[in-house]
């Protein structure tokens, strides 16, 4: 009996040794790599990934196939994640047009996303035709650009807050504006803070009628719960949540507020009141509404952080800021920047910092309640929200707020793909999907800061190794500093 078992084992071993290994053909082989499964938050160790053209041709456990390939990356000890997304970006922020940036200067921001592992962005307001020019330059191999979904101009009230917005005069104009933008090719609509209530309501009604997504700032005249009920697909920056969840100021308070002449003092007082009366129970039921309605939230925590601690962060970011075109470097200083007013008012700064702490709590509680979150940076006019690196900062901020590294990573990988309904091609490292990938020296599930340890970026199958990445950054810096 024992002899028979041994005999069978021997035959089995011989058969597997003689079995011809599968031969796979492609352009680039990444061998022995650890795949970060962003869906489960687990590591799939020692895999071979073969890229062919702009797609992942195969994923096999290492040493189970032979490969005919052009190039090889040794992935031993490294980790691979899907390309990151910045879900709130303004590479051409209309707010900065007052600095008269040239088109070739703006262009230099685009590669900085990609070399920092950000292979996709949601352009939340800017010149749609410029985006189209970037995309065709990318198609012709003239410019390194992330994949872009764009909303075109901001849709604001009759007197818009910023240049380049469409100021909608009233509800009767909504259909014309929306139809023209869709005709021009926007991927979604972005609504803004000064939209009058009736215009907003008509816009949401019409967008739902024609089943076209709209996202953006919850207007001042609308509550987040109402925006959710009227189908706003994503809400940005946690706007107006504080207002909905705090007490309504009474007559007496409003009278007192009205007697204060200084605008900043008034704003400090109202924020103070809201911070004091913020009701966690109200907030929880609001988050349940978001969850039930499937409303996405893009909190842009890192933007709030950089603003609240601007002085300290400016010094920290000096090296990064040098990579930027001069018009943006200048705009990120209090001399020019609308978001950096009143830095000498310590109460104002302190309130911003207290608000940030509340935003952290909100994000943690939203996540616990199952609200869908997106990583966004607000790169553009907002100071120190860097192209590319901003996403690393946002993921770090989400973890500091209390998300696990796996949960944070999802907000910049799988969630954007779910949001845009493109999971067939994006969102995970899987066979058949687009080869937009990032290789890291460390495991981001253990320490989210490993996201900064990029060794390679792959965009549509094209590989950028650390040498090439360094070269691209250097050449951008050289042009921007004129040296």
State yes or no: residue 323 binds Zn ion (CB under 5 A).
Answer: no
| Minimum CB distance to Zn ion smaller for 49 or for 239 | 239
x/- string (CB under 5 A) for Zn ion, residues 352-381? --------------------------x---
| Minimum CB distance to Zn ion smaller for 89 or for 144 | 89
| Minimum CB distance to Zn ion smaller for 196 or for 390 | 390
**Smallest separation (angstroms) from Zn ion to the CB of 255:** 34
Could you identify the residue written with the tokens 């609200």? 371
**Smallest separation (angstroms) from Zn ion to the CB of 193:** 11
Q: Could you tell me which stretch among 124-132, 145-153, 172-180, 401-409 binds Zn ion (CB under 5 A)?
A: 124-132
State yes or no: residue 124 binds Zn ion (CB under 5 A).
Answer: yes
Q: Could you tell me which stretch among 109-117, 119-127, 332-340, 345-353 binds Zn ion (CB under 5 A)?
A: 119-127
Distance of CA 131 to the CA centre of its chain: 17
State yes or no: residue 409 binds Zn ion (CB under 5 A).
Answer: no
Q: Could you tell me which stretch among 38-46, 116-124, 409-417, 439-447 binds Zn ion (CB under 5 A)?
A: 116-124
| Minimum CB distance to Zn ion smaller for 90 or for 434 | 90
| Minimum CB distance to Zn ion smaller for 234 or for 271 | 234
| Minimum CB distance to Zn ion smaller for 339 or for 468 | 339
| Minimum CB distance to Zn ion smaller for 59 or for 239 | 239
**Smallest separation (angstroms) from Zn ion to the CB of 105:** 20
Number of residues forming the site for Zn ion (CB under 5 A): 2
| Minimum CB distance to Zn ion smaller for 240 or for 378 | 378
Q: Could you tell me which stretch among 107-115, 123-131, 262-270, 329-337 binds Zn ion (CB under 5 A)?
A: 123-131
State yes or no: residue 114 binds Zn ion (CB under 5 A).
Answer: no
x/- string (CB under 5 A) for Zn ion, residues 192-211? --------------------
**Smallest separation (angstroms) from Zn ion to the CB of 329:** 20
| Minimum CB distance to Zn ion smaller for 124 or for 270 | 124
State yes or no: residue 177 binds Zn ion (CB under 5 A).
Answer: no
Binding site for Zn ion (CB under 5 A): 124, 378
């Amino acid at each position: 009996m024992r002899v028979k078992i041994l005999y069978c084992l021997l035959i089995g071993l011989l058969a597997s040794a003689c079995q011809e290994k599968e031969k796979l053909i492609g352009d680039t082989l990444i061998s022995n790599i650890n795949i970060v499964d962003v869906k489960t938050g687990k590591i799939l160790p020692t895999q071979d990934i073969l890229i062919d053209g702009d797609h992942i041709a195969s994923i096999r456990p290492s040493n189970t196939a032979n490969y005919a390939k052009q190039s090889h990356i040794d992935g031993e000890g490294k980790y691979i994640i899907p390309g990151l997304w910045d879900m709130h970006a303004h590479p051409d922020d209309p707010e900065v047009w007052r600095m008269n940036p040239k088109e070739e200067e703006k262009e230099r921001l685009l590669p900085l996303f990609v070399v920092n592992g950000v292979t996709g962005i949601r352009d939340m307001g800017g010149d749609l035709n410029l985006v189209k020019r970037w995309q065709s330059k990318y198609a012709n191999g003239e410019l390194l650009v992330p994949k872009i979904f764009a909303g075109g101009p901001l849709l604001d009230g009759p007197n818009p807050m910023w240049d380049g917005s469409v100021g909608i005069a009233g509800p009767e104009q909504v259909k014309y504006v929306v139809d023209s933008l869709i005709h021009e090719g926007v991927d979604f609509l972005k609504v803004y803070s000064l939209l009058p209530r009736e215009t907003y309501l008509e816009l949401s009604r019409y967008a739902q009628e024609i089943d076209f997504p709209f996202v953006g700032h919850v207007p001042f005249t609308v509550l987040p719960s109402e925006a959710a009920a009227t189908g706003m697909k994503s809400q940005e920056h946690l706007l107006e949540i504080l207002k909905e969840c705090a007490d309504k100021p009474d007559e007496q308070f409003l009278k007192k507020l009205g007697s204060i002449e200084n605008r900043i003092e008034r704003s400090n007082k109202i924020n103070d009141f809201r911070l004091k009366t913020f009701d966690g129970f109200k907030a929880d039921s609001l988050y349940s509404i978001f969850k039930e309605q499937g409303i996405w939230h893009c909190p842009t925590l890192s933007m709030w952080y950089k603003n609240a601690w601007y002085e300290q962060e400016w010094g920290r970011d000096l090296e990064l800021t040098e990579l930027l075109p001069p018009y943006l470097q200048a705009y990120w200083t209090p001399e020019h920047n609308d978001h950096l007013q009143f830095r000498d008012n310590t109460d104002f700064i302190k309130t911003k910092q207290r608000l940030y702490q509340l935003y952290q709590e909100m994000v943690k509680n939203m996540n616990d309640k199952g609200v869908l979150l997106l990583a966004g940076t607000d790169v553009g006019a907002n100071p120190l929200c860097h192209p590319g690196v901003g996403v690393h900062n946002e993921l770090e901020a989400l973890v500091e707020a209390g998300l696990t590294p796996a949960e944070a990573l999802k907000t910049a990988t799988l969630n954007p793909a779910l949001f845009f309904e493109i999971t067939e091609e994006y969102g995970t490292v899987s066979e058949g999907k687009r080869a937009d990938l990032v290789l890291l020296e460390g495991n981001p599930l253990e320490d989210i800061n490993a996201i900064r340890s990029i060794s390679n970026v792959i965009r549509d199958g094209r590989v950028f190794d650390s040498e090439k990445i360094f070269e691209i950054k250097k050449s951008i810096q050289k042009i921007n500093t004129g040296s």
